[in-house]
Amino acid sequence: MPSLQTMIERLRGRYNGHLTESDPHAGYRLESVDHSHQTTGAQAGQLDHKAAMVAASLLDDDHTQYILKTLLNAQSVIIAISDNTPVVLSVAEQTFVGRITGGNVAALSQAQAEALLLTSRYKSLMFPIQVARIIASGKPTMVTQGVYRGFSLPTYAADEEVFSCVCMPPDWDGVTNPIVYVGGWLDTANTDKKFQLQVSWEHSSPGDVMPATSHDVDVETATGTALQYTFFKVAHTIDFDVDTPDNLIAGDALAVRVRRLAASETEIAGEFVVEGVILYYKLASFGASS
């Protein structure tokens, strides 16, 4: 067996002979040779990228599933009003992008946006109960429970009622019926009984003769199982255009009177204590809901 030194010398000799040959790999193409890479054989080496792009039409839009960024101008967004069909929507100043009932995604005007955003915006206003006449007549009886104070109503008898009046707020939308809520509690525990509250209302505009008439809204409420001092809030809807063409409008004086009437059946034991009366109305313009 040859020694290690002898084997190394043989390998060195073969290596040096390989380096002196002009092209020991005649079957391959040298990378130093410039060619277009457009064919096989002699042209199958270094790639001319520019020529390849033109020849292979790589500059064409072969990706139709994408949206070209060149389609998006300033102040525009991508929307779709049908499946797999995106389009570009230009958005002008003072507009919102949204969708109203029965419509498509679009640039909405200020009026459309307000109508959309105000759909569920309401506000409340407390009716100040006129206590001077209550003090003068001694009716209804004023009672206290903890930090709450109210006026205790038996089934109606003379002077057993509360009065109040407010100006119809200027931010009411003028087309949605307002609601008068009467809040209070039962002074006695009741199970499966009923009580009925009546809100009588009328309105007047400047220059009107104060009417002697009123509109009555009677609401009967079932107590279920109610412990003593259980709180209730009873809604009375005001039909604002019941007097057409003399409708309730913003700025009118809106007067109310609250009485307790006899229930249709299973009358409650004890009395209902009126703690407060609230006007609840829909807003015509932006503002803080309450």
Per-residue model confidence (pLDDT) at position 30 = 54
Mean pLDDT value across residues 239-268: 96
User: Both 83 and 178 in a single domain?
Assistant: no
Dihedral pair phi/psi, residue 131, rounded to 5°: -90, -15
Is pLDDT larger for residue 113 or for residue 85?
A: 85
Per-residue model confidence (pLDDT) at position 290 = 53
Residue 287 counted as domain residue: no
Burial of 174 (0-12, 13-18, 19+ CB in 10 A): middle
Mean pLDDT value across residues 162-178: 95
The Cα diameter of the chain in Å comes to 136
CATH number of the domain that residue 259 is part of: 2.60.120
User: Both 160 and 268 in a single domain?
Assistant: yes
- 81-94 in b/e burial notation, b at 16+ Cβ within 10 A? eeeeeeeebeeeee
In the listed set 80, 95, 117, which residue is the last one of a domain according to the structure? Answer: 117
pTM exceeds 0.85 for this model: no
Strands 272-282 and 179-186: antiparallel
- Please report which helix (H) or strand (E) contains residue 183, including its range: strand 179-186
User: Both 108 and 138 in a single domain?
Assistant: no
Structure confidence by residue, pLDDT tens digits, 251-263:
999 999 999 999 9
* Residue 153, helix vs strand vs coil: strand
Query: What is the pLDDT of the chain when averaged over all its residues?
Result: 84
Residue 61 counted as domain residue: no
Q: How far apart are CA 85 and CA 73, in angstroms?
A: 18
Q: How far apart are CA 100 and CA 159, in angstroms?
A: 51
**Residues spanned by the domain of 229:** 122-282
Q: Out of 40-54, 67-81, 109-123, 138-152, pick the least confident.
A: 40-54
